[in-house]
Structure 1
Amino acid sequence: LSSMKQRLGARPVLMQWPMGQEDEFRGIIDLVSMKAYTYGNDLGTDINEIEIPAEYQGVAAEWHEKLVEAAADLDEDVMMKYLEGEEVTEDELKNAFRKGTISLDVTPVFLGSALKNKGVQLLLDAVVRYLPSPLDVPPIKGLTPDGGEVERTPDAEGPLAALAFKIMADPYVGRLTFVRVYSGALKAGSYVYNSSKGKKERVGRLLRMHANHREEVEELLAGDLGAVVGLKDTVTGDTLVGDGDEPIVLESIDIPEPVISVAIEPKTKADQEKLAMALSRLAEEDPTFRVHTDPESGQTIISGMGELHLEIIVDRLKREFKVDANVGQPQVAYRETITRMVDVEGKFVRQSGGRGQYGHVKIKAEPLPRGGGFEFVNAIVGGVIPKEFIPAVQKGIEEAMQSGPLIGFPVVDVKVTLYDGSYHEVDSSEMAFKIAGSMAIKEAVQKGSPAILEPIMRVEVTTPEEYLGDVIGDLNSRRGHVLGMEARGNAQVISAHVPLAEMFGYATDLRSKTQGRASFVMFFDHYAEVPKQVQEKLLKH
């Protein structure tokens, strides 16, 4: 409880007391009703309500008193009874805590063992008793196509407004779309309009999902959660309204960007197609999971919210889709560039009987600032190279820059000026000038003191103050450059630039250094030249 106060800034109120701990945990004392509950088996199905055993009566009375004090702070009627020494009833306590929970003034704390299914039933009863029902929540707000704001109240007779919050691939019924109905009624067999996509869809069947079974229903009313069979284009975050009703878009679900990526490949060639299909199904289900093919390395890259997230994805591939896959680190998308200006020429001459090939160019190549990309300047005067051959020279240069001389990554941040050359009236062709341009830029990069560039990520770490030194030390050891820090509540936010190559495994390392209490976000910022020792290491590989 003290940890919840310090770390979360919450006001926890203990609602139950355990009878025994760990493997001797045998029951729960409800401090509101002052009754005890014991379990006759490890399935949690045999629950017995009994009087509080004598050895726990003292501690239960002490915590019940604290509970009444907390309730007195939340409700004036309870406060008056408490001050006058009258007994506060069970219902009065429950009503006070419901009011305090909805207003976020207190946080009721319950206990149990999920493994043995003990305490779960009491927790679910408390969810119904203390948490807000749809009627306690303010009307949901949405936007009309013209940008106006409208409200939808939780009224089953009102116009339909529902939000799709999860997609699941079911082996028996196919694609299930989980929805929360905020207003109106969603009926089986009806047509709905997806106002996020601008498409009309037909609702097939409606299911109410239970833990280990599902119940088919004819309609879902305002406040209900359920699953829809038959929606093809609806994805997480889409809004459904009645066909013919005013289209509105409810606040969509904010999907965070993935922070970690790994390469994946099937263990056998036969699984290649199954892997692609399985990954697309999983990406459809989970909007925080992304799949793409790296155009440079050709690897399939999967991205998610952390290493555990991706481990679960790989486990699901094996269990649900029967696809075995190898997972490794992805190749970092390096770049190459030049560091000084060079002047070179490229000459392609071939005579093989009949018409030959002739192309001759002179170029200057100079480095551009980071992020400058590629710039081509045509400085030809006097027609020394006919203008119809200039695009071929540029194309040859651009194609040759797709693979650098050091480690085969694209060459960037270079300005090329074509200033001279010569041609042959018969033998010159577009192909000859393209090859000449390609030869020239390859020589220019070799002579221009080539360097490797690496992607630098902007990393923001949110950590409790006591771990600040460890987190900064770890970022420095990853060749990171700390940009600044700011206090946010009782935590510190560290901003830093860190090379992507050093960030693999960071999620796990950060968790272990901070007892799982720190988090981070990461996004691409810029490319920078790698240090000499890192470049030497890359060249050896």
Structure 2
Amino acid sequence: MNAISYMIVLDFVGKVFKIVHDKQRGALTLVRVFRGELKKGSRLITTRNTSEVVNKLYEPLADEYREISSVPGGDVAICAGLKHTVTGDLLTSTASALKGAQKRLQKILKLPESGAKVEEHSSKDGDTDADATLVNEIFATEPQIPDAVYFCSIEPPSLSTQNAMEAALKQLQREDPSLRVNYDSVTGQTVLGGMGELHMDIVKSRILTEYKIEVDLGPLQIAYKETIEEPAMDSFQVEKEIAGSKQSVSITLELLREHKEPFSLDKSGENAANLNTVRPRMLHVIRKGALSALDRGPRVGGQVVDTQVRLHNITIGRGTADSFVMAAAAQCVQKILTTAGTRLLEPIMALEIVAPSERISAIIADLSRRRATINEVRPKSEQNKLICVNAPLAELSGYSSVLRTITSGTASMTMQPCGFSNMNSNDEVRAIQRAQGFE
């Protein structure tokens, strides 16, 4: 069976591949219709379980839009009136249709049900592995967006344009999910996260040209992450009187190296009795507070990853507010991180460089000074070779210009994130100095 035959199990399915903002029509969503017919006035379900209504349908004709009443499968349409969709969303007729389609398809392929994704299994004829991979691709309802590797602050020219800037950033985020916008409660700044220097320049340029706001961007900072080296456990106890009400919490948490589950409970005999008395709602509050503390590490303020918070014991005074418990859990995690310390993880980029054969030695020599790992050098054509490299982002600032200089403009390059890597102590010191503005 092919991908088209798989799609018959859904009544309607479409993929949002682009969003543009029109001055007269507002946000316009470009949808590729995979299955079924999209009609004006249709009610659709988005990836985020929100309901959308297609107010108007347009057929794209170069830079002109012609209003139409319906779009058949296999065609592209422009939808007006969708408020919650973002680039990469999957649209279906109903939420139950998507789940039902997955179950029926798994039965056809004789694969076990496993929630949102299907695990790959081997078979004698080798078809099952390919089928399982295809099912995973079809039902990948959320776009896979890599983590931001750069961040910087963004400020409006005046307080009167603050709301306009925030509205512009929301619209840009709908168009480009790789753009991250956060509010830093410590510095009181709006922080942008993106995929590179050019990405940030384009965002600034679009805000200026399309929204007429002369925003200022702060210096670009590399988005380092942090992680713990060894498991660490500590307790935190706090008592205060707020508005005549006594608030008290005593909590014991442990941080572990773990890649999957971010929060767990200690099921040992000595703590099971205590944790069994904690209500599920309160466990949710504790979890939220503890995990929020992992958003900002003690060294450079990077997100703490590959770390699990384990709750061992907690005693909550009568009448203690949920916000007080949440704050106590967060402070306990911060105390452990500060005491035990963390290690920095730096973003690594995968580069593919195509250059003439006579320029390869000069390129490799320059990359070796940038702490790069040369994975492969192979022929690309009669005159050119392809170099596959992994290199730290910190060493690649302005590298495209350097590459053009080395090769006299004869080389081309592509670069994309490929994860994070541990740093040695010397590189860590330089990274911290750079983040603090001392380098």
TM-score range, shorter chain: 0.5 to 0.7
Counterpart for residue 376 of structure 1: 264
Counterpart for residue 500 of structure 1: 393
- AA aligned to 1:446 is T
Displacement of 1:469 after TM fit?
A: 1.9
- AA aligned to 1:268 is P
Counterpart for residue 465 of structure 1: 357
Displacement of 1:413 after TM fit?
A: 1.5
Q: Give the whole-Å Cα distance in 1 for the aligned partners of 2:217 and 2:247.
A: 49
- AA aligned to 2:367 is L
Counterpart for residue 228 of structure 1: 64
Closer/same/farther in 2, CA of residues 514 and 346 from structure 1, 3 Å limit: same
Displacement of 1:526 after TM fit?
A: 1.6
Higher relative contact order (CA 8 A, sep 6+): 2
RMSD: 4.8
Counterpart for residue 179 of structure 2: 292
Q: Deviation per CA, 1:394-426, whole angstroms, max 9, x where unpaired?
A: 2221122222222222222112322234455x4
Displacement of 1:481 after TM fit?
A: 1.9
Aligned residue among 229, 232, 236 for 1:339: 229
Q: Give the whole-Å Cα distance in 1 for the aligned partners of 2:167 and 2:352.
A: 34
Q: Give the whole-Å Cα distance in 2 for the aligned partners of 1:393 and 1:168.
A: 41
- AA aligned to 2:338 is Q
Matches within 5 A, 1:60-209: 195=33, 198=38
Closer/same/farther in 2, CA of residues 246 and 363 from structure 1, 3 Å limit: closer
Number of residue-to-residue matches in the alignment: 323
- AA aligned to 2:246 is G
Counterpart for residue 268 of structure 1: 157
Closer/same/farther in 2, CA of residues 266 and 355 from structure 1, 3 Å limit: closer
2:248 aligned with 1:248: no
- AA aligned to 1:299 is V
Matches within 5 A, 1:367-516: 367-368=257-258, 371-372=259-260, 374-379=262-267, 380-383=271-274, 386-388=277-279, 389-422=282-315, 424=317, 426=318, 430-490=322-382, 491-516=384-409
Q: Deviation per CA, 1:8-35, whole angstroms, max 9, x where unpaired?
A: xxxxxxxxxxxxxxxxxxxxxxxxxxxx
Q: Give the whole-Å Cα distance in 1 for the aligned partners of 2:415 and 2:150.
A: 12
2:275 aligned with 1:363: no
SS in structure 2 opposite 1:489? coil
Q: Give the whole-Å Cα distance in 1 for the aligned partners of 2:320 and 2:201.
A: 58
2:424 aligned with 1:534: no
Q: Give the whole-Å Cα distance in 1 for the aligned partners of 2:254 and 2:389.
A: 37
SS in structure 2 opposite 1:350? strand
SS in structure 1 opposite 2:182? coil
SS in structure 1 opposite 2:273? coil
Q: Deviation per CA, 1:467-497, whole angstroms, max 9, x where unpaired?
A: 2122223333332222222322232222222
SS in structure 1 opposite 2:333? helix
Counterpart for residue 235 of structure 1: none
Closer/same/farther in 2, CA of residues 296 and 493 from structure 1, 3 Å limit: farther
Q: Give the whole-Å Cα distance in 2 for the aligned partners of 1:202 and 1:433.
A: 50
**Does the CA-based 8 Å contact 1:361-1:437 persist in structure 2?**
yes
**Does the CA-based 8 Å contact 2:359-2:407 persist in structure 1?**
yes
Scaled by the length of structure 1, the TM-score of the pair is: 0.47
Unaligned runs of 5+ in 2: 9-16, 41-55, 77-144, 185-189
- AA aligned to 1:454 is E
Q: Give the whole-Å Cα distance in 1 for the aligned partners of 2:243 and 2:70.
A: 76
Scaled by the length of structure 2, the TM-score of the pair is: 0.57
- AA aligned to 1:416 is V
Matches within 5 A, 1:318-357: 324=214, 326=216, 330-350=220-240, 355-357=245-247
Q: Deviation per CA, 1:187-237, whole angstroms, max 9, x where unpaired?
A: xxxxxx985793566779x9xxxxxxxxxxxxxxxxxx9642556xxxxxx
- AA aligned to 2:157 is T
Q: Give the whole-Å Cα distance in 2 for the aligned partners of 1:353 and 1:167.
A: 50
- AA aligned to 1:476 is S
**Does the CA-based 8 Å contact 2:250-2:315 persist in structure 1?**
yes
Q: Deviation per CA, 1:364-396, whole angstroms, max 9, x where unpaired?
A: 22233xx55734233332226722243333222
**Does the CA-based 8 Å contact 1:338-1:367 persist in structure 2?**
yes
SS in structure 2 opposite 1:479? coil
Q: Give the whole-Å Cα distance in 1 for the aligned partners of 2:277 and 2:166.
A: 49
Q: Give the whole-Å Cα distance in 2 for the aligned partners of 1:199 and 1:261.
A: 41
Q: Give the whole-Å Cα distance in 2 for the aligned partners of 1:315 and 1:532.
A: 38
Q: Give the whole-Å Cα distance in 1 for the aligned partners of 2:387 and 2:326.
A: 49
Closer/same/farther in 2, CA of residues 391 and 532 from structure 1, 3 Å limit: same
**Does the CA-based 8 Å contact 2:152-2:220 persist in structure 1?**
yes
**Does the CA-based 8 Å contact 2:298-2:341 persist in structure 1?**
no
SS in structure 2 opposite 1:521? strand
**Does the CA-based 8 Å contact 1:145-1:248 persist in structure 2?**
no
- AA aligned to 1:335 is K
Displacement of 1:345 after TM fit?
A: 0.9
Closer/same/farther in 2, CA of residues 277 and 404 from structure 1, 3 Å limit: closer
Closer/same/farther in 2, CA of residues 226 and 168 from structure 1, 3 Å limit: farther
Displacement of 1:453 after TM fit?
A: 1.9
Q: Give the whole-Å Cα distance in 1 for the aligned partners of 2:213 and 2:431.
A: 33
Displacement of 1:323 after TM fit?
A: 5.2
**Does the CA-based 8 Å contact 2:299-2:432 persist in structure 1?**
yes
- AA aligned to 1:295 is N
